[in-house]
């Protein structure tokens, strides 16, 4: 074990940790350690046990066996995040901020400064302002969290952790919802924290980022420790291979571009909607059209307007040449247009329910026979969906909220497909999903297009959008600034459009 010599310097060390939930073992005797001033990346597929290990290190779960050693002493961490008092802070993927309170109030939550028994708002405000400035954030301490973007919320979480003098900072996929520019800024903060001697545990599915920011990498697979190595000894391919345990070739399926003269199924002309400014484009049968751009560039807003989730102010949408305007999602669905949200947990799935009601929810009218729910047909559909999209759940009675992100995403795909759509809009198809499942989802998307369905993929991940889409529209500030195809479908070209360095006149 390479950690014998390093264990003296380790701030937090996990020694042969195992964990079972009920009778289901999740971690098998895993070793892990993190030193002051290093970034230790933890990678693995969904369900590999990363989250469980992280929660054990943060004190949210107690290990079934094995020890935690903090500062050289065997420790039992207090539960429910009280380990923060010891300097171990876990930043959850679902950020833990009070939405209706201000940035300042959140950062000082539970440790408010007071003078003579009253809150010392001035002092707190000044401190928060200086911290925000330090991380280069352009928000006010008095802004409400609910008004911030996800990226800004993320930074507030980090400022909060920094303000608590965290010695160990555990971050669960902090970059999953950040754009490239934001990620860059975020990494600068991580470097600063490193210099301060903070030990950072970084969980990510983005291997390129791991390569960039981490000092050491630990790979988990199926709850087993696979390897811990300095990052320069690993290539991206070898990381991926160790995660998956098999050769990962063909991450992206071959592209079978739609014929140039195939039918135009969806045509949008001069559409104006909230956050969308005069957008025109067309989508052909069997085509995979990508929508790239920065977060907030209007991609989601555009398709929410088309699908009846928000109102269209001006412009016209044509479906098979016929003008349409959907008043609600049901009308869009009945016309064969479905939108798959990027917010799996908030808008996609009923986390407290099992798979069956989730799967059939959107296409429920299809499962009604003589005014009654046809449970047998639903059961049939579930079997079909599980088979078609390779959904792996321990038990069909498991709550969807307890399933891994990858399986949730597959279930969401299956749910949309129950509506028998002709046009599918998939927003961030692989957010927070491991490489193996990503590959599967890319192949599903390609198969849908090959079947004659038209697919729109909205994604902030550049390689994905280039690897999957036949044509890519780039949006900026509510407008389409360019459409790239063929050889132009590359990262530089897309970035130039997205950043506003280049703009083409786009005709609908």
Contact set with another protein (CB under 8 A): 21-24, 309, 328-330, 332-333, 339, 341, 343, 346-353, 357, 361-362, 364-365, 367-368, 371-373, 379, 394-399, 402, 415, 419
For residue 344, what is the DSSP state? Answer: I
Please, what is the minimum distance in Å from the beta carbon of residue 409 to another protein? 15
Please, what is the minimum distance in Å from the beta carbon of residue 372 to another protein? 5
CA-based nearest residue to 292, from 488, 464, 487: 464
Tell me whether residue 327 or residue 505 sits nearer to another protein (CB atom).
327
- What one-character-per-residue DSSP string does 107-126 give? HTTTS--EETTEE-HHHHHH
Tell me whether residue 196 or residue 347 sits nearer to another protein (CB atom).
347
Q: Are strands 288-293 and 454-458 parallel, antiparallel or unpaired?
A: parallel
Tell me how far apart the alpha carbons of residues 496 and 475 are, in angstroms, rounded to a whole number: 11
Please, what is the minimum distance in Å from the beta carbon of residue 484 to another protein? 30
What are residue 23's phi and psi, to 5 degrees? -100, 5
Is the CB of residue 55 less than 8 Å from the CB of residue 90?
yes
Tell me whether residue 368 or residue 504 sits nearer to another protein (CB atom).
368
Tell me how far apart the alpha carbons of residues 431 and 461 are, in angstroms, rounded to a whole number: 9
Tell me whether residue 111 or residue 394 sits nearer to another protein (CB atom).
394
Please, what is the minimum distance in Å from the beta carbon of residue 394 to another protein? 5
What is the Cβ-side half-sphere exposure of residue 448, based on CA atoms within 13 angstroms? 29
Please, what is the minimum distance in Å from the beta carbon of residue 402 to another protein? 5
- What one-character-per-residue DSSP string does 53-91 give? HHHHHTTSS--SEEEEEETTEEE-PPTTTGGGGGTEEEE
Please, what is the minimum distance in Å from the beta carbon of residue 207 to another protein? 27
Tokens representing 58 are 């943060």
- What one-character-per-residue DSSP string does 257-319 give? PPPTTS-EEEEEEEEEETTEEEEEEEEETT-EEEEEE-TTSSHHHHHHHHTTSS---EEEEEE
Q: Which residue has the tokens 């408010």?
A: 112
Please, what is the minimum distance in Å from the beta carbon of residue 294 to another protein? 23
Tell me how far apart the alpha carbons of residues 483 and 290 are, in angstroms, rounded to a whole number: 9
Please, what is the minimum distance in Å from the beta carbon of residue 352 to another protein? 6
Number of neighbouring beta carbons within 10 Å of residue 251: 16
Q: Is 47 left (phi over 0), alpha (psi -120 to 50) or beta?
A: left
Tokens representing 250 are 């063909």
Please, what is the minimum distance in Å from the beta carbon of residue 421 to another protein? 11
Measured CA to CA in angstroms, residue 162 lies from 135, 158, 193, 340, 454 at distances of 11, 6, 8, 36, 46
Please, what is the minimum distance in Å from the beta carbon of residue 98 to another protein? 19
Tell me whether residue 72 or residue 78 sits nearer to another protein (CB atom).
78
Please, what is the minimum distance in Å from the beta carbon of residue 233 to another protein? 35
Sheet of 337-340, strands arranged across: 337-340, 423-427, 454-458, 288-293, 471-476, 479-485
Tell me how far apart the alpha carbons of residues 205 and 203 are, in angstroms, rounded to a whole number: 7
Please, what is the minimum distance in Å from the beta carbon of residue 478 to another protein? 22
Q: Bridge-partner residues for 17, per DSSP? A: 30
Tell me whether residue 165 or residue 343 sits nearer to another protein (CB atom).
343
Question: What distance lies between CA 173 and its chain's CA centroid?
Answer: 8
């Amino acid at each position: 074990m390479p950690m014998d010599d390093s264990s003296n310097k380790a701030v937090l060390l996990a020694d042969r940790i195992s964990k079972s939930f009920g009778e289901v073992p999740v971690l098998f005797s895993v070793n892990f350690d993190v030193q002051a001033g290093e970034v230790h990346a933890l990678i693995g597929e969904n369900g590999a046990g990363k989250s469980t290990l992280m929660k054990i290190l943060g004190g949210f779960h107690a290990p079934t066996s094995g020890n935690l050693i903090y500062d050289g002493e065997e420790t039992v961490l207090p539960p429910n995040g009280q380990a923060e008092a010891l300097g171990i802070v876990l930043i959850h993927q679902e950020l833990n901020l009070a939405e209706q309170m201000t940035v300042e109030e959140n950062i000082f939550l539970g440790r408010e400064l007071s003078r003579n028994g009253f809150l010392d708002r001035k002092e707190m405000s000044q401190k928060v302002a200086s911290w925000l400035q330090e991380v280069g954030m352009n928000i006010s301490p008095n802004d409400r969290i609910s008004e911030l973007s996800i990226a800004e919320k993320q930074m507030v979480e980090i400022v909060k952790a920094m303000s608590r003098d965290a010695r160990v900072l555990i971050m669960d996929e902090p970059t999953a919802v950040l754009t490239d520019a934001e990620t860059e800024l975020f990494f600068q903060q991580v470097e600063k924290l490193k210099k301060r001697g903070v030990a950072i545990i970084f969980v990510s599915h983005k291997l390129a980022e791991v390569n960039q920011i981490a000092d050491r990498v630990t790979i988990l697979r199926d709850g087993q420790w696979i390897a811990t190595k300095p990052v320069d000894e690993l290539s991206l391919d070898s990381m991926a291979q160790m995660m998956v345990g098999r050769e990962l070739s063909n991450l992206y399926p071959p592209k079978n571009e739609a014929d140039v003269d195939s039918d135009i199924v969806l045509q949008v002309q001069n559409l104006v909607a909230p956050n969308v400014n005069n957008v025109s484009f067309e989508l052909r049968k069997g085509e995979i059209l990508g929508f790239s751009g920065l977060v907030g560039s209007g991609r989601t807003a555009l398709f929410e307007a088309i699908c009846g989730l928000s109102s269209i102010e001006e412009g016209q949408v044509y479906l098979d040449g016929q003008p349409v305007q959907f008043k609600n999602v049901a009308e869009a669905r009945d016309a064969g247009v479905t939108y798959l949200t990027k917010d799996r947990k908030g808008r996609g799935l009923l986390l407290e329910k099992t798979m069956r009601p989730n799967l059939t929810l959107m296409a429920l009218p299809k499962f009604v026979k003589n005014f009654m729910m046809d449970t047998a047909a639903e059961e049939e559909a579930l079997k079909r969906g599980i088979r078609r999209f390779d959904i792996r759940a321990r038990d069909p009675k498991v709550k969807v909220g307890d399933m891994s992100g990858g399986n949730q995403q597959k279930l969401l795909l299956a749910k949309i497909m129950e509506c028998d759509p002709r046009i599918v809009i998939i927003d961030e198809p692989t957010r927070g999903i491991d490489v193996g499942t990503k590959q599967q989802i890319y192949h599903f998307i390609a198969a849908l297009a090959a079947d004659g369905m038209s697919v729109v993929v909205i994604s902030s991940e550049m390689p994905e959008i280039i690897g999957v889409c036949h044509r890519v529209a780039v949006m900026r500030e509510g407008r389409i600034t360019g459409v790239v195809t063929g050889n132009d479908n590359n990262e530089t070209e897309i970035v130039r459009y997205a950043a506003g360095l280049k703009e083409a006149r786009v005709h609908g």
